[in-house]
Homo-oligomer: A and B are copies of this chain.
Amino acid sequence: MYRQKQLPESIKQPRVVIIGAGFGGLQAARALHKAPVRVTVIDRTNHHLFQPLLYQVATAALSPADISAPIRHILRKQRNAEVVLAEVTGVDLQRRRVVMGHRSLPYDYLVIATGASVHYFGHSEWQAYAPGLKSLEQARAIRQKILSAFELAEMERDPQRIEALLTFVVIGAGPTGVEMAGAIAEVAHKTLATEFRHIDPRQAHILLVEAAPRVLSTYSERLSRKAEQSLTRLGVEVLTGQPVTNIDDEGIYTGEKRIAASTVLWTTGVQASPAGKWLEAPMDRAGRVKVMPDLTVPEQPAVFVIGDTALCEQDGKPLPGIAPVAMQQGLYVAATIMRKVRGEQEIPPFHYRDKGSMATIGRSHAVVQLGPLSLTGFVAWLAWLMIHLLYLIGFRNRLLVMLQWVWCYLTFQRGARLLTLTELETRKPELEKIA
Protein backbone atom coordinates (compact mmCIF):
# COMPACT_ATOMS: atom_id res chain seq x y z
CA MET A 1 0.00 0.00 0.00
CA TYR A 2 1.19 3.46 -0.86
CA ARG A 3 2.56 5.37 2.14
CA GLN A 4 1.48 8.99 2.29
CA LYS A 5 4.44 11.34 2.50
CA GLN A 6 4.87 12.99 5.88
CA LEU A 7 4.18 16.67 5.45
CA PRO A 8 6.06 19.19 7.58
CA GLU A 9 3.98 20.42 10.48
CA SER A 10 1.55 22.86 9.03
CA ILE A 11 2.97 26.19 10.07
CA LYS A 12 0.80 29.21 10.29
CA GLN A 13 2.54 31.19 7.59
CA PRO A 14 0.62 33.36 5.14
CA ARG A 15 -0.37 31.57 1.97
CA VAL A 16 0.66 33.23 -1.29
CA VAL A 17 -1.09 31.79 -4.32
CA ILE A 18 0.35 32.70 -7.71
CA ILE A 19 -1.71 31.90 -10.79
CA GLY A 20 0.42 31.46 -13.88
CA ALA A 21 4.08 30.51 -14.21
CA GLY A 22 4.99 32.89 -17.00
CA PHE A 23 7.67 35.54 -16.62
CA GLY A 24 5.80 37.49 -13.94
CA GLY A 25 4.44 34.64 -11.84
CA LEU A 26 7.66 32.67 -11.80
CA GLN A 27 9.71 35.73 -10.89
CA ALA A 28 7.37 36.44 -7.98
CA ALA A 29 7.53 32.83 -6.75
CA ARG A 30 11.33 32.70 -6.87
CA ALA A 31 11.74 36.07 -5.19
CA LEU A 32 9.74 34.74 -2.24
CA HIS A 33 12.13 31.85 -1.63
CA LYS A 34 13.38 33.22 1.69
CA ALA A 35 10.11 34.84 2.77
CA PRO A 36 8.15 33.40 5.71
CA VAL A 37 5.24 32.45 3.47
CA ARG A 38 3.91 29.33 1.79
CA VAL A 39 3.91 29.76 -1.97
CA THR A 40 1.61 27.85 -4.30
CA VAL A 41 2.09 28.26 -8.04
CA ILE A 42 -0.88 27.17 -10.12
CA ASP A 43 -0.50 26.65 -13.85
CA ARG A 44 -2.59 24.81 -16.42
CA THR A 45 0.48 23.32 -18.08
CA ASN A 46 3.50 21.76 -16.38
CA HIS A 47 6.04 24.14 -17.88
CA HIS A 48 7.21 27.71 -18.03
CA LEU A 49 7.16 28.79 -21.66
CA PHE A 50 9.72 31.19 -23.10
CA GLN A 51 7.23 32.98 -25.33
CA PRO A 52 9.70 35.31 -27.11
CA LEU A 53 11.07 32.29 -28.99
CA LEU A 54 7.71 30.72 -29.75
CA TYR A 55 7.93 31.97 -33.33
CA GLN A 56 11.03 29.81 -33.77
CA VAL A 57 9.01 26.73 -32.84
CA ALA A 58 6.34 27.87 -35.29
CA THR A 59 8.95 28.12 -38.04
CA ALA A 60 10.61 24.76 -37.28
CA ALA A 61 13.89 26.11 -35.93
CA LEU A 62 13.44 24.83 -32.38
CA SER A 63 11.57 22.01 -30.65
CA PRO A 64 8.83 22.81 -28.12
CA ALA A 65 10.87 21.36 -25.26
CA ASP A 66 13.80 23.68 -26.03
CA ILE A 67 11.88 26.75 -24.90
CA SER A 68 10.02 25.10 -22.03
CA ALA A 69 11.14 24.26 -18.51
CA PRO A 70 9.10 22.15 -16.06
CA ILE A 71 7.82 24.43 -13.29
CA ARG A 72 8.35 21.71 -10.68
CA HIS A 73 11.94 21.40 -11.71
CA ILE A 74 12.57 25.14 -11.51
CA LEU A 75 11.11 25.29 -8.00
CA ARG A 76 12.25 21.87 -6.75
CA LYS A 77 14.72 23.26 -4.23
CA GLN A 78 12.47 26.05 -3.01
CA ARG A 79 11.21 24.50 0.20
CA ASN A 80 8.34 26.94 0.73
CA ALA A 81 6.94 26.47 -2.77
CA GLU A 82 4.50 23.96 -4.18
CA VAL A 83 3.27 23.56 -7.74
CA VAL A 84 -0.32 22.73 -8.66
CA LEU A 85 -1.26 21.69 -12.18
CA ALA A 86 -4.80 22.96 -12.65
CA GLU A 87 -6.92 25.37 -14.64
CA VAL A 88 -8.26 28.21 -12.54
CA THR A 89 -11.92 28.93 -13.21
CA GLY A 90 -12.55 31.76 -10.77
CA VAL A 91 -11.67 33.60 -7.61
CA ASP A 92 -13.90 33.72 -4.53
CA LEU A 93 -12.91 37.10 -3.08
CA GLN A 94 -15.26 36.77 -0.10
CA ARG A 95 -13.87 33.48 1.12
CA ARG A 96 -10.39 34.17 -0.26
CA ARG A 97 -10.17 31.05 -2.35
CA VAL A 98 -8.94 30.31 -5.84
CA VAL A 99 -11.45 28.08 -7.61
CA MET A 100 -10.31 25.31 -9.98
CA GLY A 101 -13.50 23.58 -11.13
CA HIS A 102 -14.84 21.68 -8.14
CA ARG A 103 -11.66 22.17 -6.13
CA SER A 104 -10.40 25.34 -4.46
CA LEU A 105 -7.36 26.64 -2.58
CA PRO A 106 -7.25 29.30 0.16
CA TYR A 107 -4.99 32.33 -0.11
CA ASP A 108 -3.87 35.22 2.03
CA TYR A 109 -2.18 36.97 -0.88
CA LEU A 110 -3.09 36.33 -4.48
CA VAL A 111 -0.95 37.11 -7.52
CA ILE A 112 -2.71 36.84 -10.86
CA ALA A 113 -0.24 36.48 -13.71
CA THR A 114 -2.34 34.66 -16.26
CA GLY A 115 -1.13 36.44 -19.36
CA ALA A 116 -3.11 37.07 -22.49
CA SER A 117 -4.55 35.24 -25.43
CA VAL A 118 -5.13 36.16 -29.04
CA HIS A 119 -7.95 38.58 -29.80
CA TYR A 120 -9.70 39.00 -33.14
CA PHE A 121 -11.41 42.35 -32.51
CA GLY A 122 -14.89 40.89 -32.52
CA HIS A 123 -14.21 38.57 -35.47
CA SER A 124 -13.78 35.30 -33.62
CA GLU A 125 -14.64 33.47 -36.85
CA TRP A 126 -11.21 34.53 -38.18
CA GLN A 127 -9.53 32.29 -35.64
CA ALA A 128 -10.19 29.22 -37.79
CA TYR A 129 -8.33 30.74 -40.74
CA ALA A 130 -5.62 32.81 -39.06
CA PRO A 131 -4.19 31.11 -35.96
CA GLY A 132 -2.43 33.21 -33.34
CA LEU A 133 0.80 32.44 -31.56
CA LYS A 134 0.48 32.25 -27.79
CA SER A 135 0.89 28.57 -26.89
CA LEU A 136 3.03 25.62 -27.91
CA GLU A 137 -0.01 24.03 -29.47
CA GLN A 138 -0.59 27.08 -31.62
CA ALA A 139 3.09 27.10 -32.57
CA ARG A 140 2.84 23.46 -33.68
CA ALA A 141 -0.34 24.25 -35.62
CA ILE A 142 1.39 27.10 -37.45
CA ARG A 143 4.42 24.94 -38.21
CA GLN A 144 2.06 22.35 -39.67
CA LYS A 145 0.31 25.01 -41.75
CA ILE A 146 3.55 26.40 -43.18
CA LEU A 147 5.23 23.07 -43.94
CA SER A 148 2.15 21.43 -45.41
CA ALA A 149 1.47 24.43 -47.67
CA PHE A 150 4.70 23.63 -49.53
CA GLU A 151 3.82 19.94 -49.64
CA LEU A 152 0.38 20.65 -51.09
CA ALA A 153 1.86 23.06 -53.62
CA GLU A 154 4.25 20.31 -54.74
CA MET A 155 1.29 18.03 -55.52
CA GLU A 156 -0.96 20.68 -57.03
CA ARG A 157 -1.01 21.27 -60.80
CA ASP A 158 -3.32 24.30 -60.98
CA PRO A 159 -1.00 27.37 -61.12
CA GLN A 160 -3.54 29.58 -59.35
CA ARG A 161 -3.86 27.14 -56.45
CA ILE A 162 -0.08 26.81 -56.31
CA GLU A 163 0.23 30.56 -56.03
CA ALA A 164 -2.25 30.68 -53.15
CA LEU A 165 -0.47 27.80 -51.40
CA LEU A 166 2.83 29.63 -51.70
CA THR A 167 1.44 32.90 -50.34
CA PHE A 168 1.97 33.51 -46.65
CA VAL A 169 0.25 36.46 -45.01
CA VAL A 170 1.34 37.62 -41.57
CA ILE A 171 -1.12 40.06 -40.07
CA GLY A 172 0.34 42.56 -37.63
CA ALA A 173 3.81 44.08 -37.85
CA GLY A 174 4.69 44.17 -34.17
CA PRO A 175 7.81 42.28 -33.04
CA THR A 176 6.16 38.85 -33.42
CA GLY A 177 4.82 39.62 -36.90
CA VAL A 178 8.17 40.98 -38.06
CA GLU A 179 10.00 37.97 -36.65
CA MET A 180 7.52 35.48 -38.16
CA ALA A 181 7.62 37.08 -41.62
CA GLY A 182 11.43 37.11 -41.62
CA ALA A 183 11.59 33.47 -40.53
CA ILE A 184 9.06 32.29 -43.12
CA ALA A 185 11.02 34.11 -45.81
CA GLU A 186 14.12 32.23 -44.74
CA VAL A 187 12.28 28.90 -44.74
CA ALA A 188 11.02 29.49 -48.28
CA HIS A 189 14.05 31.12 -49.85
CA LYS A 190 16.79 29.17 -48.13
CA THR A 191 15.81 26.09 -46.11
CA LEU A 192 13.46 24.52 -48.64
CA ALA A 193 14.94 26.14 -51.75
CA THR A 194 16.32 22.99 -53.37
CA GLU A 195 14.15 20.28 -51.87
CA PHE A 196 11.15 20.21 -54.19
CA ARG A 197 10.90 18.95 -57.74
CA HIS A 198 7.71 20.55 -59.08
CA ILE A 199 7.69 23.91 -57.32
CA ASP A 200 10.36 26.45 -56.55
CA PRO A 201 9.88 27.54 -52.91
CA ARG A 202 11.92 30.68 -53.70
CA GLN A 203 8.88 31.93 -55.59
CA ALA A 204 6.83 32.02 -52.39
CA HIS A 205 5.24 35.37 -51.48
CA ILE A 206 5.55 36.48 -47.88
CA LEU A 207 3.38 39.46 -47.02
CA LEU A 208 3.39 41.43 -43.79
CA VAL A 209 0.12 43.34 -43.48
CA GLU A 210 -0.23 46.14 -40.94
CA ALA A 211 -3.04 48.62 -40.27
CA ALA A 212 -0.69 51.24 -38.78
CA PRO A 213 1.36 53.42 -41.12
CA ARG A 214 4.64 51.68 -40.24
CA VAL A 215 6.07 48.40 -38.93
CA LEU A 216 7.11 48.17 -35.26
CA SER A 217 5.01 51.24 -34.51
CA THR A 218 6.03 51.33 -30.84
CA TYR A 219 9.66 51.81 -31.87
CA SER A 220 11.23 55.01 -33.23
CA GLU A 221 10.59 55.95 -36.85
CA ARG A 222 14.21 55.37 -37.71
CA LEU A 223 14.03 51.79 -36.44
CA SER A 224 10.76 51.20 -38.27
CA ARG A 225 12.42 52.26 -41.48
CA LYS A 226 15.45 50.06 -40.83
CA ALA A 227 13.23 47.10 -40.02
CA GLU A 228 11.21 47.58 -43.18
CA GLN A 229 14.40 47.73 -45.25
CA SER A 230 15.66 44.50 -43.71
CA LEU A 231 12.34 42.79 -44.34
CA THR A 232 12.31 43.86 -47.97
CA ARG A 233 15.85 42.60 -48.37
CA LEU A 234 14.69 39.23 -47.01
CA GLY A 235 11.99 39.10 -49.66
CA VAL A 236 9.06 40.10 -47.44
CA GLU A 237 6.47 42.38 -49.03
CA VAL A 238 5.47 44.96 -46.42
CA LEU A 239 1.97 46.43 -46.69
CA THR A 240 1.47 49.17 -44.10
CA GLY A 241 -1.64 51.29 -43.57
CA GLN A 242 -3.79 48.39 -44.73
CA PRO A 243 -6.29 47.19 -42.15
CA VAL A 244 -7.58 43.68 -42.79
CA THR A 245 -11.31 43.77 -43.39
CA ASN A 246 -12.04 40.08 -43.80
CA ILE A 247 -10.42 36.65 -43.60
CA ASP A 248 -11.80 33.42 -45.00
CA ASP A 249 -10.46 30.01 -45.94
CA GLU A 250 -9.01 31.33 -49.18
CA GLY A 251 -7.22 34.46 -48.04
CA ILE A 252 -7.72 37.99 -46.78
CA TYR A 253 -9.25 41.29 -47.81
CA THR A 254 -7.65 44.64 -47.10
CA GLY A 255 -10.37 47.06 -48.09
CA GLU A 256 -11.47 45.97 -51.56
CA LYS A 257 -8.20 44.22 -52.33
CA ARG A 258 -8.19 40.45 -52.17
CA ILE A 259 -5.06 38.46 -51.40
CA ALA A 260 -5.43 34.73 -52.04
CA ALA A 261 -3.36 32.91 -49.42
CA SER A 262 -3.51 29.44 -48.00
CA THR A 263 -1.55 30.44 -44.89
CA VAL A 264 -2.66 33.43 -42.86
CA LEU A 265 -1.17 34.10 -39.43
CA TRP A 266 -2.45 36.49 -36.81
CA THR A 267 0.03 38.30 -34.60
CA THR A 268 -1.95 41.38 -33.67
CA GLY A 269 -4.63 41.85 -31.04
CA VAL A 270 -4.19 40.61 -27.53
CA GLN A 271 -6.91 39.82 -25.05
CA ALA A 272 -6.04 39.59 -21.36
CA SER A 273 -7.00 36.38 -19.57
CA PRO A 274 -10.42 36.33 -17.91
CA ALA A 275 -8.94 37.46 -14.57
CA GLY A 276 -10.87 40.71 -14.74
CA LYS A 277 -14.14 38.79 -14.85
CA TRP A 278 -13.13 36.59 -11.92
CA LEU A 279 -12.48 39.73 -9.87
CA GLU A 280 -15.32 41.85 -11.29
CA ALA A 281 -12.71 44.59 -11.46
CA PRO A 282 -12.56 47.56 -13.84
CA MET A 283 -10.93 46.60 -17.13
CA ASP A 284 -9.89 48.25 -20.37
CA ARG A 285 -11.19 47.11 -23.76
CA ALA A 286 -8.49 44.45 -24.06
CA GLY A 287 -9.72 42.93 -20.80
CA ARG A 288 -6.75 44.12 -18.76
CA VAL A 289 -7.40 44.83 -15.10
CA LYS A 290 -6.79 48.45 -14.11
CA VAL A 291 -4.44 48.15 -11.16
CA MET A 292 -3.47 50.57 -8.36
CA PRO A 293 0.06 52.03 -8.15
CA ASP A 294 1.01 49.01 -6.00
CA LEU A 295 -0.40 46.60 -8.63
CA THR A 296 -3.31 45.56 -6.41
CA VAL A 297 -6.89 45.49 -7.56
CA PRO A 298 -8.94 48.47 -6.30
CA GLU A 299 -10.37 47.65 -2.84
CA GLN A 300 -8.52 44.31 -2.80
CA PRO A 301 -5.20 45.05 -1.10
CA ALA A 302 -4.28 41.33 -1.05
CA VAL A 303 -4.91 40.70 -4.75
CA PHE A 304 -2.21 41.63 -7.25
CA VAL A 305 -2.47 41.53 -11.03
CA ILE A 306 0.72 41.64 -13.12
CA GLY A 307 2.07 41.11 -16.61
CA ASP A 308 -0.15 41.04 -19.68
CA THR A 309 -3.22 40.70 -17.48
CA ALA A 310 -2.71 44.12 -15.90
CA LEU A 311 -3.26 47.61 -17.25
CA CYS A 312 -0.52 49.53 -15.51
CA GLU A 313 -0.05 53.14 -16.52
CA GLN A 314 3.19 55.04 -16.19
CA ASP A 315 3.78 58.60 -17.38
CA GLY A 316 0.25 58.54 -18.76
CA LYS A 317 0.89 55.54 -21.00
CA PRO A 318 0.09 51.87 -20.40
CA LEU A 319 3.18 49.68 -20.00
CA PRO A 320 3.71 47.30 -22.94
CA GLY A 321 2.94 43.57 -22.69
CA ILE A 322 6.53 42.39 -22.69
CA ALA A 323 8.56 40.07 -20.48
CA PRO A 324 10.67 42.73 -18.71
CA VAL A 325 7.53 44.50 -17.46
CA ALA A 326 6.07 41.23 -16.12
CA MET A 327 9.36 40.26 -14.47
CA GLN A 328 9.87 43.59 -12.75
CA GLN A 329 6.26 43.45 -11.58
CA GLY A 330 6.80 39.95 -10.23
CA LEU A 331 9.81 41.08 -8.25
CA TYR A 332 7.94 44.13 -6.98
CA VAL A 333 4.95 42.08 -5.85
CA ALA A 334 7.19 39.63 -3.99
CA ALA A 335 8.89 42.53 -2.20
CA THR A 336 5.55 44.12 -1.44
CA ILE A 337 4.13 40.93 0.01
CA MET A 338 7.20 40.62 2.24
CA ARG A 339 6.67 44.20 3.43
CA LYS A 340 3.04 43.52 4.18
CA VAL A 341 3.89 40.30 6.02
CA ARG A 342 6.36 42.28 8.15
CA GLY A 343 3.55 44.72 8.93
CA GLU A 344 4.95 47.70 7.03
CA GLN A 345 2.37 50.32 6.14
CA GLU A 346 4.30 52.33 3.58
CA ILE A 347 4.28 50.60 0.22
CA PRO A 348 6.24 52.42 -2.50
CA PRO A 349 4.48 52.34 -5.86
CA PHE A 350 5.67 50.16 -8.73
CA HIS A 351 7.99 51.85 -11.15
CA TYR A 352 9.07 50.23 -14.43
CA ARG A 353 12.63 50.79 -15.43
CA ASP A 354 12.79 50.57 -19.22
CA LYS A 355 15.60 48.25 -20.19
CA GLY A 356 14.70 48.53 -23.85
CA SER A 357 12.87 46.39 -26.31
CA MET A 358 14.12 44.45 -29.29
CA ALA A 359 12.98 42.51 -32.33
CA THR A 360 14.94 40.36 -34.72
CA ILE A 361 14.45 40.33 -38.48
CA GLY A 362 15.81 37.22 -40.11
CA ARG A 363 19.45 36.31 -39.66
CA SER A 364 22.00 38.97 -38.74
CA HIS A 365 19.49 41.79 -38.32
CA ALA A 366 17.68 43.17 -35.33
CA VAL A 367 16.47 46.46 -33.93
CA VAL A 368 16.96 47.49 -30.32
CA GLN A 369 15.22 50.47 -28.73
CA LEU A 370 16.65 51.64 -25.41
CA GLY A 371 14.87 54.86 -24.45
CA PRO A 372 16.13 57.46 -26.92
CA LEU A 373 18.98 55.17 -27.96
CA SER A 374 18.59 52.76 -30.84
CA LEU A 375 20.69 50.03 -32.35
CA THR A 376 20.34 48.16 -35.65
CA GLY A 377 22.08 45.56 -37.77
CA PHE A 378 24.49 42.86 -36.72
CA VAL A 379 25.39 44.33 -33.31
CA ALA A 380 21.71 44.58 -32.41
CA TRP A 381 21.25 41.01 -33.56
CA LEU A 382 24.09 39.77 -31.33
CA ALA A 383 22.54 41.67 -28.42
CA TRP A 384 19.20 40.01 -29.20
CA LEU A 385 20.83 36.55 -29.21
CA MET A 386 22.66 37.13 -25.93
CA ILE A 387 19.67 38.52 -24.06
CA HIS A 388 17.40 35.72 -25.22
CA LEU A 389 19.87 33.00 -24.27
CA LEU A 390 20.40 34.68 -20.91
CA TYR A 391 16.73 34.73 -20.00
CA LEU A 392 16.01 31.23 -21.18
CA ILE A 393 15.70 29.00 -18.12
CA GLY A 394 18.02 26.04 -17.69
CA PHE A 395 21.50 25.19 -18.87
CA ARG A 396 20.25 22.45 -21.17
CA ASN A 397 17.84 24.76 -23.00
CA ARG A 398 20.49 27.45 -23.39
CA LEU A 399 23.00 25.00 -24.80
CA LEU A 400 20.54 23.33 -27.16
CA VAL A 401 19.09 26.60 -28.42
CA MET A 402 22.54 28.09 -28.95
CA LEU A 403 23.73 25.04 -30.86
CA GLN A 404 20.66 24.99 -33.04
CA TRP A 405 21.08 28.67 -33.79
CA VAL A 406 24.68 28.16 -34.80
CA TRP A 407 23.71 25.19 -36.93
CA CYS A 408 20.81 27.07 -38.49
CA TYR A 409 23.03 30.08 -39.14
CA LEU A 410 25.69 28.03 -40.88
CA THR A 411 23.49 25.66 -42.87
CA PHE A 412 20.20 27.58 -43.34
CA GLN A 413 18.56 24.37 -42.14
CA ARG A 414 15.82 24.11 -39.54
CA GLY A 415 15.83 21.08 -37.32
CA ALA A 416 12.21 20.69 -36.31
CA ARG A 417 10.56 20.15 -39.68
CA LEU A 418 7.98 17.66 -38.51
CA LEU A 419 4.68 16.83 -40.11
CA THR A 420 2.93 14.01 -38.32
CA LEU A 421 0.04 11.92 -39.48
CA THR A 422 -2.51 13.66 -37.29
CA GLU A 423 -1.28 17.04 -38.44
CA LEU A 424 -1.67 16.03 -42.06
CA GLU A 425 -5.22 14.91 -41.37
CA THR A 426 -6.14 18.57 -40.92
CA ARG A 427 -5.21 19.17 -44.57
CA LYS A 428 -7.35 16.33 -45.88
CA PRO A 429 -10.07 18.51 -47.47
CA GLU A 430 -7.44 20.34 -49.51
CA LEU A 431 -5.62 17.13 -50.36
CA GLU A 432 -8.80 15.69 -51.76
CA LYS A 433 -9.24 18.68 -54.03
CA ILE A 434 -5.94 17.98 -55.76
CA ALA A 435 -6.46 16.18 -59.03
Binding site for B on A (CB under 8 A): 1-5, 7, 44-47, 63-66, 68, 70, 72-73, 76-77, 82-86, 101-103, 135-137, 147, 151, 154-155, 159-160, 162-163, 166, 192, 194-200, 203, 395-397, 399-400, 403-404, 407, 411, 413, 415-422, 424, 431-432, 434-435
CB distance from A265 to the nearest CB of B (A): 20
* Residue of chain B at shortest CB distance from A407: B396
Distance of A173 Cα from B245 Cα, bound (Å): 60
- A155→B100 CA distance, assembly (Å): 12
Contact between B73 and A137 (Cβ–Cβ < 8 Å)?
A: no
Number of copies: 2
* Contact among B3, B64, B154, B196 for A63, CB-based, below 8 A: B64
B3-A203 in contact (CB<8A): yes
Contact A417 B103 (CB under 8 A): no
| CB pairs A–B below 8 angstroms (16 shown) | A2-B159, A3-B203, A5-B198, A44-B421, A44-B424, A45-B421, A65-B418, A72-B195, A72-B196, A73-B413, A76-B194, A85-B154, A101-B432, A395-B407, A396-B407, A399-B403
Give the 4 A-B CB pairs with smallest separation, nearest first: A63-B63, A65-B416, A2-B163, A46-B419
- A6 to chain B: closest residue by CB: B200
Contact of B424 with A85 in the complex, beta carbons under 8 Å: yes
Q: Are B159 and A4 in contact (CB under 8 A)?
A: yes
Please tell me if the beta carbons of B159 and A46 are within 8 angstroms of each other in the complex.
Answer: no
A83 to B403, CA, bound (A): 29
Bound-complex Cα distance A1 to B164 (A): 10
| Chain B residue contacts of A65, Cβ below 8 A | 63, 415-418
Q: How far is the CA of A395 from the CA of B72 in the complex (A)?
A: 32
Distance in angstroms between the alpha carbons of A27 and B397 in the assembled complex: 33
Of all chain B residues, the one with the shortest Cβ separation from A203 is B2
List 12 additional contacts besides A44-B421, A101-B432, A399-B407; criterion CB under 8 Å: A2-B166, A3-B203, A64-B420, A65-B416, A65-B418, A68-B418, A84-B155, A102-B432, A103-B434, A396-B415, A400-B400, A400-B403
**B5 near A200 (CB under 8 angstroms)?**
yes
In the bound complex, residues from chain B placing their C-beta under 8 Å from that of A411 are 396
Chain B residues with Cβ under 8 A from A199's Cβ? 5
Partner of A45, one of B194, B416, B419, B434: B419
Within the complex, which residue of B1, B86, B196, B424 is in contact with A159, where a contact is CB–CB below 8 Å? Answer: B1
| B396 and A47 contacting across the interface, CB-CB below 8 Å | no
Residues of chain B within 8 A of A4, CB atoms compared: 159, 162, 198
A417 partner residues in chain B, CB cutoff 8 A? 46-47, 65, 70, 73
The docked-state distance in angstroms from the alpha carbon of A154 to that of B7 is 13
> Which residues of the partner chain B approach A101 to less than 8 Å between Cβ atoms?
431-432
A420 touches B3 (CB 8 A): no
Contacts of A84 in B (CB 8 A): 155
Q: A46, B147: Cβ atoms under 8 Å?
A: yes
Give the chain B neighbours of A424 by CB distance below 8 A: 44-45, 85
B85 pairs with A195, CB closer than 8 A: no
Closest-CB distance, A291 to chain B (whole angstroms): 27
The minimal Cβ–Cβ distance linking A145 to chain B, given in whole angstroms, is: 13
- Cross-chain contact B151 with A85 (CB below 8 angstroms): yes
Give the CA-CA distance A413 to B154 in the complex, in Å: 41
A135, B352: Cα distance in complex, Å: 48
Chain B nearest Cβ from A289, distance in angstroms: 23
Tell me the smallest distance from the CB of A190 to a CB of chain B, in Å: 12
Chain B residues near A155: list those with CB within 8 A.
84-86, 103
